[in-house]
């Protein structure tokens, strides 16, 4: 990450703390910090207790022994209460932060059809992982690392005073001159920590990029596994198990190959960290052992100094001990910054969709284009009047569905203007309707809320479209997209139309899985229940003309290569 990336990461982290929830968040954070400060004070108090306790042991002072044990019990009980409260409060803050970020990212991802635009343009992979995992890691790791850094700074300031006072003076003779170094053990700890931090960054610097690739490979593998689960029936019909296994193993091979790099850098980091820790534990004994045996300090002084020096060394070594977490956090920030950049991408100025106060939909010289700028169809000048019924014709693959995408505001590539009535309710029904997870009633009422429709209204809609036998299972959770047949799914889509009662309905091959009698029945049902409905249909089946009053043929743009009929 460069300097600009660090600034963007700081903006990403800072956003919550200046949001509408900032005062509640800052209050909880202040409580966590206060508890951390009390815990540092407790740790410092324990070093003085250790000094007095070991001095009491060395002088066989039984009265001081029992008094100090009671004092230790009080300190321990206070520590239990503070640690428990601190952990619970910090977890509450983590969830508040994560909830806020999740809401913001979901709103931006689902708003203005950004999720559709990102997937269609291939701007980013695995949005689900970034929302579910990366936001969790950002909230948890940033809070833990930030509070940990603050706690270490306070630890350093507190125990540095103790180490300074117990270090005494080291006199060095250089070129015949004597130099007194006050608090020399503090300087030894500082130099030791700087050297260890430099070695850690040099040895483990590439772990950030390696971890980024590992998360990407894991997400790709998980996505393919999910595809096998959701498309199980189609794969089974094709007997594609062997092919899917090859594809899954290929994706897993990328995980395994990158994991070797993870192992290599983790091994190096662990080796440096272990060497640093073990060597650091020897230093206070090495430098103060002679002072103890000479009688310059007591046993209690030696124990207090050793514990305090350890605290100073750990505080100065925050970067070393948290290097892997920092690398992961940098990787997570990079992925979330990519997410934000993808959300900010807007398509080039193309087909303009305007809202007007009148009625009807009008297209003025609308010509959809491919993403590379090549024209797809001839320009369309088209007026869809209220209560009209249009059949959109043209060879398969000519761009009819793209015209519907443009009408929905999902396809901006191209030229021209589309005017839509601002007060009208538009509904688009594709060939394969999306079914959310949940009960059949949830699927039927989508995209509306199930609470907006009564049980009787939902039951009646199912009966009207020929799915009355499913009414008893309406509140049952099931994988309905897999349980229902293609024809039943299309019937359910018509049930949605009856519930939603749109002013304009666009059907894209919405009856292709139905027999002709069922198709005729459902069209008649629509016209009977919604007599003022404006309808635009795409379909290739002969006989669709009788359900429509007008037709429009979509023609390919000049020079466009078309598929030849067999």
> Please, is 511 exposed, middle or buried when counting C-beta atoms within 10 Å of its C-beta (0-12, 13-18, 19+)?
buried
User: Could you tell me the CA-to-CA distances from 242 to 238, 245, 249, 438 in Å, in that order?
Assistant: 11, 5, 11, 31
Q: How confident is the model at residue 1 (pLDDT cuts 50, 70, 90)?
A: low
Q: Which of 307, 303, 316 is nearest to 276 (CA)?
A: 316
State the Cα–Cα distance between residues 336 and 327, nearest whole angstrom: 14
> Please, is 33 exposed, middle or buried when counting C-beta atoms within 10 Å of its C-beta (0-12, 13-18, 19+)?
middle
Q: Which of 338, 331, 339, 266 is nearest to 1 (CA)?
A: 331
State the Cα–Cα distance between residues 143 and 130, nearest whole angstrom: 18
Q: What percent of the chain has pLDDT over 90?
A: 38
Name the DSSP class of 244. H
More confident residue, 306 or 260: 260
State the Cα–Cα distance between residues 362 and 365, nearest whole angstrom: 10
Q: What is the CATH number of domain 352-564?
A: 3.40.50.300
pLDDT on residue 297? 77
pLDDT on residue 172? 67
State the Cα–Cα distance between residues 525 and 530, nearest whole angstrom: 8
Model pTM above 0.85 = no
Residue 10 has which token pair? 């700081």
pLDDT on residue 98? 93
More confident residue, 562 or 52: 52
For 191, phi then psi, to 5°, come to -65, -40
Q: Is the pLDDT score of 566 beyond 60?
A: no
Secondary structure (3-state) at 359? coil
Question: Minimum mean pLDDT among 154-163, 201-210, 238-247: which range?
Answer: 201-210
pLDDT on residue 282? 82
What average pLDDT does the segment 210-230 reach?
Answer: 84
CB under 8 A, 24+ apart: contacts of 247-252: 248/221, 248/224, 251/217, 251/220, 251/221, 251/224, 252/221
Q: Which helix (H) or strand (E) holds 417?
A: strand 414-421
Strand pairing partners for 397?
none
What average pLDDT does the segment 422-451 reach?
Answer: 89
Q: How many CA atoms lie within 13 A of 285 on its CB side?
A: 5
What average pLDDT does the segment 430-456 reach?
Answer: 89
Tell me which range, 51-60, 79-88, 426-435, is most confidently predicted by mean pLDDT: 79-88
Q: Is the pLDDT score of 457 beyond 90?
A: yes
**What mean pLDDT is reported for the chain?**
86
pLDDT on residue 564? 45
Q: How many CA atoms lie within 13 A of 409 on its CB side?
A: 13
Residue carrying structure tokens 């200046």 = 18
3-344: which CATH number, 1.20.1250.20, 1.20.1560.10, 1.10.10.10, 2.60.40.10? 1.20.1560.10
State the Cα–Cα distance between residues 72 and 66, nearest whole angstrom: 10
Strand pairing partners for 349?
none
What average pLDDT does the segment 289-296 reach?
Answer: 80
Q: At what angle do helices 184-204 and 135-167 cross, to 10 degrees?
A: 150
Secondary structure (3-state) at 163? helix
pLDDT on residue 4? 72
pLDDT on residue 170? 67
State the Cα–Cα distance between residues 144 and 257, nearest whole angstrom: 31
Contacts of 223 (CB under 8 A, 6+ apart): 126, 128
Q: Is the pLDDT score of 565 beyond 50?
A: no
Note the pLDDT tens digit of each residue in 164-173: 877 767 666 6
Q: How confident is the model at residue 25 (pLDDT cuts 50, 70, 90)?
A: very high
Residue 90: Cβ within 10 Å count: 20
Residue 218: Cβ within 10 Å count: 19
| Residue ranges per structural domain of the chain | 3-344, 352-564
Cα angle 511, 516, 517 (rounded to 5 degrees) comes to 110
Note the pLDDT tens digit of each residue in 295-352: 877 887 778 778 787 888 778 778 777 877 887 888 888 889 889 888 888 766 789 9
């Amino acid at each position: 990450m460069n300097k600009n990336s660090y600034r963007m990461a700081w903006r990403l982290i800072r956003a919550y703390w200046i949001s509408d929830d900032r005062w509640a968040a800052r209050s909880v954070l202040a409580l966590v910090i206060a508890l951390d400060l009390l815990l540092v004070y407790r740790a410092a108090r324990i070093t003085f207790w250790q000094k007095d306790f070991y001095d009491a042991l060395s002088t066989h002072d039984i009265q001081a022994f029992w008094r100090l044990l009671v004092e230790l019990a009080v300190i321990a009980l206070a520590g239990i209460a503070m640690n428990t409260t601190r952990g619970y409060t910090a977890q509450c803050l983590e969830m508040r932060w994560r909830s806020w970020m999740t809401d913001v990212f979901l709103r931006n991802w689902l708003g203005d059809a950004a999720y559709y635009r990102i997937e269609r343009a291939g701007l980013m992979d695995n949005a689900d992982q970034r929302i579910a995992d990366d936001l969790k890691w950002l909230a948890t790791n940033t809070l833990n690392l930030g509070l940990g850094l603050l706690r270490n700074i306070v630890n350093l300031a507190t125990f540095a005073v103790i180490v300074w006072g117990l270090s005494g003076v080291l006199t060095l003779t250089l070129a015949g001159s004597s130099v007194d170094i006050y608090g020399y053990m503090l300087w030894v700890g500082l130099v030791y920590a700087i050297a260890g931090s430099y070695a850690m960054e040099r040895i483990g610097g590439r772990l950030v990029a390696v971890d980024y690739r590992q998360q990407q490979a894991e997400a790709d593998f998980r996505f393919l596994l999910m595809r096998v689960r959701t498309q199980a029936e189609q794969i089974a019909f094709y007997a594609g198990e062997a092919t899917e296994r090859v594809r899954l193993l290929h994706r897993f091979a990328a995980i395994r190959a990158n994991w070797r790099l993870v192992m290599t850098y983790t091994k190096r980091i662990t080796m440096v960290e272990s060497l640093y820790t073990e060597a650091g534990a020897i230093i206070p004994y090495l430098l103060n052992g002679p002072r103890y045996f000479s009688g310059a300090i007591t046993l209690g002084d030696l124990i207090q100094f050793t514990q305090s020096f350890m605290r100073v060394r750990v505080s100065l070594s925050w970067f070393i001990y948290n290097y892997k977490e920092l690398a992961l956090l940098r990787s997570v920030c990079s992925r979330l910054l990519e997410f934000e950049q993808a959300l900010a991408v807007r398509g080039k100025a193309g087909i303009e969709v305007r809202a007007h106060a009148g009625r009807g939909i009008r297209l003025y010289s609308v010509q959809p284009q491919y993403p590379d700028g090549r024209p797809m169809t001839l320009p369309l000048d088209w007026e869809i009047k209220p209560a009209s019924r249009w059949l959109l014709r043209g060879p398969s693959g000519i761009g009819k569905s793209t015209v519907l995408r443009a009408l929905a505001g999902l396809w901006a590539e191209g030229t021209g203007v589309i005017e839509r009535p601002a007060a009208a309710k538009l509904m688009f029904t594709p060939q394969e309707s999306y079914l959310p997870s949940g009960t059949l009633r949830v699927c039927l009422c989508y995209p509306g809320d199930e609470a907006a429709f009564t049980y009787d209204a939902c039951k009646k809609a199912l009966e009207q479209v020929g799915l009355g036998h499913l009414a008893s299972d309406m509140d049952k959770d099931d994988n309905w997209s897999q349980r229902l047949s293609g024809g039943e799914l299309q019937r359910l889509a018509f049930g949605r139309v009856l519930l939603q009662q749109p002013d304009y309905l666009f059907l894209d091959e919405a009856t292709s899985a139905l027999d002709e009698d069922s198709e005729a029945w459902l069209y008649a049902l629509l016209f009977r229940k919604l007599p003022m409905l404006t309808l635009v249909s795409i379909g290739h089946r002969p006989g669709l003309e009788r359900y429509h009053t007008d037709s429009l043929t979509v023609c390919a743009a000049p020079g466009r290569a078309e598929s030849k009929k067999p």
